[in-house]
Structure 1
Amino acid sequence: MQALTILFLSGVLAFPGSTARPSNEGTTYDYIIVGGGTTGLVVANRLSEDLTKTVLVIENGGLDNGTMSSIPGNSGGLNTAAMYDIYSASVPNLGNRTFLVTVGNVVGGGSYVNGMQFDRGANADYDAWAELGNEGWGWEGLQPYFAKSNHFDPPSAETTKEFGITYDETAYGHGPLKVSIPDYQFPDMKYIFHSWDNVSIPHPKEGFVDPVGVYFTPNTINKATAMRSTSRSAYYDPIVSRKNLKLLINTHVDEIIFESNKNGTLTATGVKFTKNGSSNQTQAFARKEVVLAAGGVFTPHLLMNSGVGPKDVLMAAGVIVKKNLPAVGSNFQDHVANYMNFDLRDLSPESIPGLSSNTTFNQTSYEEFLAYKTGPYSAGKANALVFMALKHFDSTFDKTVSKIRSQNAAEFLPKRYAQDKQLLAGFIKQRKIIAKQFSGTAAAVGEIVIQPWGFSGIANNKPLSRGTITLNNTHPREYPIVQWNTFQNPIDADVMIALTRYNRKHWASGSLARYQPIELSPGPQYQSNAEIIYGSIESGSLQPSFAHPSGGCSMMPEELGGYVSDELLVYGIGQLSIVDASIIPLIPAAHLQATMYAIAEKAADIIKRRA
């Protein structure tokens, strides 16, 4: 990987020709981007293409050049050294347990620590964003930006034939992010993937064209190097020498600086930040815009610590209220996961469990990767997915739809919705869209990840429950309070139960009989609806998050409880925009990575138009 030249800011820095504000320490840039993760580095790259514009990126994490994340074969484990050590509030419907909040704390953010899946939601998922009042954010408006971000490399002809892989290269683009279906596949993948051949769900040739069904998907792997492709490797490393772009690492942004005019209108003019481990706070200023890209959890947190958010939350934490915006921290969403597991007999010795149990196989595989960039370590742990409409896995889907439409929405939402007509109106409009998606086949509701062994993660991709992000009242600058409120709406549990039963049935089918599967988690002893949820909680397989936290600063009209306009500007505040997963108004049925690259590419164009 190309060596990096990083500028560590510790005092007053200046670009040639820039003018620092005389009344404050610090340097002035055209743009300050808070967060050097997936979206932040994309936007930084595009804004700094104009060499007359200066860009500062501030990232809390550091540069990780290790192999825990960069080697694809390691992607099945959590690289906790490159993640925040943050846990959620106890979740009432999950046994009052707390859960790890999986958020990257590294240059590259989530793109550096995720499972490398590169898939998109259905057209209907993005058309829902437009239906919620966001002009230009439907599929037609986003499609060019999906194409702009990536470049696809297919598997070899031999692998394609042996494993029955289909793809369509024209579905992708010619962008900097390298994605591929690896040449290496574990031998059992051909049997486990093709166990779906006779199942009555769609079998599209290419998931990036038709995302509902079963198909192989790319991983974010650069085929030329057999290494993980990230926002850093794709968007930052190649342009590190740009004189108008500076990256500050291991630095925490403490607060957004605002100026107020005589009418009380706020304008974001800069940020206050502190080098990790230091007590010396520094300031930097933005001529044009402060761009928030701190992610689905930490962007709402930063806003509230800057005095922007729900008045009651800020006052309870002793934060001076500068702008009362009740939407901040609401509409928080994630996919709900159940990591089912099956013991399989007669797996090939060349398998994922074999890497753990057979020292010789593991060592020779690793040596093969180091020498030739081939073999088991050149591939991710999963590159095939099943996305299903509700009617594909639940024969009583029509009853579920009726139940959604008849519910008293406020009864199954956080209390603040009953107190805020705009928040409630926004959710009711979302619910109408979700009910429509539940009744048809245009968008997926359930997901099953196909792996070449017995680990079989499933997810409810369309939860009706809504979480919150709030401040720690005693220490507001410490990690925020993340509350998923999983299963607050019981329909979410119904969907998970139906999907769990469906996955059990598939593993018990004749197409997988060669493996004689035995369910390990949650366990076959849990049969009733209540038992399935209880057993999944007790076994630890049920998780409130699929590592896709989003929605806490939603892009919707103000009258629908939105916080950000379709131009990505925060309502009522000048020169402040948001470009990360917190703007997603309704979570799509997809791993979010490809969507976030598209959002970032589109965001860069929107911001450029304001220049």
Structure 2
Amino acid sequence: MRALSTLFRVGQSLALICGTSHVVAASQQARGAGTGNSLDGRTYDYVIVGGGTSGLVVANRLTEDRRTTVLVIERGYFDNKPEAIVPWYGNLLDVGVIDFVPSAPNPKLGNAVSSVAVASVVGGGTVVNGMGYIRGSKADYDSWEELGNPGWGWRGLYPYFRKGTTFDPPTPAAVSQWNITWLPEAFGRGPLHLKIPSFQYPDIATFWRALRNQPGVAVPRGANVGNGPGAYWTPSTIDGRTETRATARSAYYDPVYAQRPNLHLVTGQTATEILFRPTSQGDLTAKGIRIVSRADNQTRNVYAKKEVILAAGSVMTPHLLQVSGIGPASVLGAANITVKKDLAGVGANYQDHATTMTRYSLSNQSFPNPDTIFLNATYNATVWAEYLSNKTGPIAGASATTLLLLSLPHLLNNSFSTAASLSSRLLAQPASQYLPEIYSSKPSLLAGFKAQRAILARNFKTNDLSLVAHALLGNGFFPGPLLKPLSRGTLYLNPSDPHSPPIIQFNTLMNPIDGENIASMVRHGRRFFASPEFAPLGEITELVPGSQYQTDKEILDVLTGNADYLWPSLAHPSGTCAMMPLRLGGVVGPDLRVHGVKRLSVVDASVIPLIPGGALQATVYAVAEKAADLIRARG
């Protein structure tokens, strides 16, 4: 604890040395949008709800045309604390800028109640996440196209992944010492800077020796070109020019705001309702947003000439649609909300990366290791001093940059026949058996899941799709996100108080095959840590779940019986306004406009129909870049 308190004490001085490029003056922050009654009744070309990842990307791109005016509405505020700037803080969680939305009891996790972390800050999740940048596989995005979205496959998205990013290489000495590899062609010259940190803990060399000898696991030269399963060096969202956290704010807002009087952002405002314009034909047309100030609780209206754009994320975007009368009629009726558009998919198709917190004890770790900074006050002070002086060392990095992505055959000891058998069993399930109740009453939702299931079952039999990820920190912590869940959750209004946080039902492990895959992941981890290459790390003891648990039931009983062992959410909610045709329960089309509603678009992670095999931020950046082009093209 003494070491940790030292860390925070030293950290408070960092705001003085982090550079003015990360701090927008207060006068600039409020310019244009105004405050109080001056905001009421104003009209802009576009009104964007949400100043997070996708909202700031779209606002930046639309205002490249100085004739186009954009207002961004953000519930949170600007955050200039060290936690928002210094890379190492990506190992922690700044709860001061996060709203935690509680879930309903989770039946398969002992009816435990959990929560989803929703960033409430300019820059959104990019200000508080673990900073890992990893794109999904080609198969991930090709499945989106197969679900009825032309142009959203790997070929359609790859140019946008490149457009938004710039790669800052590690030092030549680090490249030589660690044999760090990457593919320069995966990146362009975009606003978001990425870097593989030069500092690595010594035991990472042992992990890489083990990775290179894993049967069936590829070790490509670089990540982020759609290869899927394999062992990779992966970049973090770190700006190598300043060795600070790269965020949607620092990349897409701070550099342009002072030069663009057409770009307006207002903070501390909660969007409470989408405003619609009635027409004689009965069409539904979005015209603006009703907002409530967190400072004075006053309600004001702002208007859009061209479009209202929802970028509030997979939790708050469907919630805003529902309180505005767009969603399943049964859900809206139960909350006494007037139904303006009966759209079954709003709030369905909820997906997240449930994560198993597997852990091993290593008796002979090197010095230093990822735990040293917490346990050794002298080392703690030394590395902070190094960062303050030189912007080098462990404080210039965050979480792991070595990533292991595994397919289902990998988990099954490279047995393609066993993977094929599991795929057959998946397709043989009655489609509605392990789905939320609403799927039985809404044929379109059931049809959409069947289409998703067919794609997953086909890809499960191959090494094209990543089913599990392991971030390798260089110690015994071996977390395993389940990247391709079959279970589907829901997010609906609280019927007794519709404007309160929505009710989230994760339904984690509702489909038993998810549990089988988690048990297979635990067994793969045991084989991995039993590799002879780990001998230098001494005696290895499995702490979670524990080697004494062998059968699927025994493993899952332990994991589901302890809230610290299996998390239903990795703060990767997605899919709640899925980009699919109406006949498949979709909410938006490939143009990202809400079905049956004019001048209303969604551009955030809620449009993802099938969650990709990796952390979401890389995908959300690309979705937003493409969304900006789509919106700009239609004027």
- For normalisation by structure 1, the TM-score amounts to 0.97
Tell me if the contact between 2:444 and 2:584 (Cα under 8 Å) persists in the aligned partners: yes
Moved more, 26-35 or 148-157: 148-157
> 2:278, 2:321 → 1: CA distance?
16
Q: Is the 8 A contact 1:385 1:447 kept in 2?
A: yes
Q: Structure 1 residue 277: deviation in Å?
A: 4.0
The equivalences for 1:37-56 within 5 A come to: 37-56=52-71
CA contact (8 A) 2:132 2:399 kept: no
Aligned sequence identity (%): 44
1:161 to 164, 176, 182: 176
Residue aligned with 1:410, SS: coil
Look up the match of 1:3: 24
Cα deviation, 1:548-578, whole Å, max 9, x if unaligned, reads 1000000001111111010000011110000
Letter in 2 for 1:3: V
Cα drift, residue 583 of structure 1: 0.2
Q: Deviations over 1:320-362 (max 9, x none)?
A: 2111111100111111210111122222221211101001101
SS state at 1:411 partner: coil
Task: Tell me which residue corresponds to 1:544.
Answer: 568
Correspondence 1:70 to 2:92: no
Which aligned segments of 4 or more residues in structure 1 are displaced greater than 4 angstroms?
none
> Is 2:346 aligned against 1:328?
yes
* Structure-2 residue corresponding to 1:18: none
**CA-to-aligned-CA distance 1:481-521 (integer Å, 9 cap, x gap):** 11111111111111111011101221122221222221222
Counterpart of 1:289, as a letter, is: E
1:57 is matched with 72
- Alignment correspondent of 1:239: 256
Q: CA deviation at 1:526?
A: 2.3
Aligned residue in 1 for 2:19: none
| Unmatched tracts of structure 2, length 5 or more | 1-21
| Structure 2 residue identity aligned to 1:609 | A
Of the candidates 372, 378, 386, which is equivalent to residue 396 of structure 2?
378
Match of 2:558 among 520, 535, 539: 535
Query: Can you list the C-alpha shifts for 1:143-191, whole angstroms capped at 9, x where unaligned?
Result: 1100000000121221112112211112111101000101111112111
Residue of structure 2 in register with 1:19 after alignment: none
Q: Choose from 379, 382, 393 the match for 1:364.
A: 382
Deviation of 1:12 after TM superposition, in Å, equals: 4.6
TM-fit CA distance, 1:312: 0.8
Q: Distance in 2 between matches of 1:81 and 1:47?
A: 31
C-alpha deviations, 1:455-496, integer Å up to 9, x for none?
A: 111121111111000011111111111111111111111111
* Counterpart-to-counterpart distance in 2, 1:35 and 1:140: 28
Q: Which residue of 1 aligns with 2:608?
A: 584
Residues 164 and 190 in structure 1, CA contact (< 8 A), matched pair in contact too = no
Could you tell me whether the CA contact under 8 Å between 1:10 and 1:282 is conserved in 2? no
**Alignment pair present for 1:205 and 2:221:** yes
| TM alignment of 1:194-233, pairs within 5 A | 194-200=209-215, 201-209=217-225, 210-233=227-250
Among residues 325, 329, 342, which one is paired with 1:311 in the alignment? Answer: 329
| Aligned AA (2:311) | A
8 Å contact 2:370–2:473 — kept in the other structure?
no
Tell me the CA shift for residue 537 of structure 1.
Answer: 2.5
Which of 455, 478, 482 is the aligned partner of 1:456?
Answer: 478
Secondary structure at the counterpart of residue 117 of structure 2: coil
Which amino acid is the alignment partner of residue 410 of structure 1? S
**What pairs up with 1:200-599 in 2 under 5 angstroms?**
200=215, 201-209=217-225, 210-241=227-258, 242-394=260-412, 395=415, 396-515=418-537, 516-539=539-562, 540-599=564-623
Instruction: Find the counterpart in structure 2 of residue 186 from structure 1.
Output: 201
Give the 3-state SS of the residue equivalent to 1:296 in structure 2: helix
Looking at structure 2, the residues matched to 348 and 91 of structure 1 have their Cα atoms a distance apart, in angstroms, of 40
Tell me if structure 2 keeps the 8 A contact 1:296–1:549.
Answer: yes
Structure 1 residue 278 displacement after superposition: 2.6
Counterpart CA distance in 1 for 2:77 and 2:36 is 19
Task: Give the number of equivalent residue pairs.
Answer: 601
Question: Against the structure 1 CA distance between its residues 299 and 76, is the aligned structure 2 distance closer, same or farther, given a 3 Å change threshold?
Answer: same
What RMSD over aligned residues (CA atoms) do the two structures have, in Å? Answer: 1.2
Other-structure match for 2:13: none
Normalised to the residue count of structure 2, the TM-score between the two structures is 0.93
SS in 1 for 2:101: coil
Structure 1 residue 100 displacement after superposition: 2.6
Aligned residue for 1:100? 115
Q: Which digits, 9 at most, give the CA deviation of each residue in 1:188-221, with x for residues without a partner?
A: 2111233211112111111112232001100000
